[in-house]
Amino acid sequence: MASEGRTRLTIDLPKALVEQADMLVRRGVARSRNRLIVEALERFLKDLEEAQIDVQFAEMARDERYIEEQLRIAHEFERSDWEALQLEEGLKRQ
């Protein structure tokens, strides 16, 4: 019986893949086949999400309006950034 919040699946895997998974379980690298598959799928999905974020950042880097806004914000904070740097440098010298 599947525990709450989970779905039981039946999947077909290549025999060599199952053998590798079993070896990892025997060595203690993974708690179980199931846990290994869950962790691998979670990692795969996280990697996909991070790749999508990277694509969005790359698009932002080419977006002229975004670049102009970032330059405007940086200009607005130049004085306070300089003051913070001077304060930090003064604290380091003491």
CA dihedral 49, 54, 55, 59 (to 10 degrees): 140
In a domain, 7, yes or no: no
Give residues with Cβ within 8 angstroms of 67, minimum separation 6. 61
In a domain, 88, yes or no: yes
Decide: 14 and 8 in contact? Cβ < 8 Å: no
Give residues with Cβ within 8 angstroms of 51, minimum separation 6. none
Q: Which amino acid type is present at position 1? A: M
For the segment 52-71, what is each residue's pLDDT rounded down to a tens digit? 999 999 999 999 999 999 99
In a domain, 3, yes or no: no
For the segment 11-45, what is each residue's pLDDT rounded down to a tens digit? 999 999 999 999 999 999 999 999 999 999 999 99
Domain tally, the chain: 2
Q: Does residue 16 sit in the same domain as residue 44?
A: yes
In a domain, 57, yes or no: no
Show the DSSP H helices in the chain as ranges: 15-27, 33-62, 64-76, 78-93
Percent of the chain whose pLDDT exceeds 90: 83
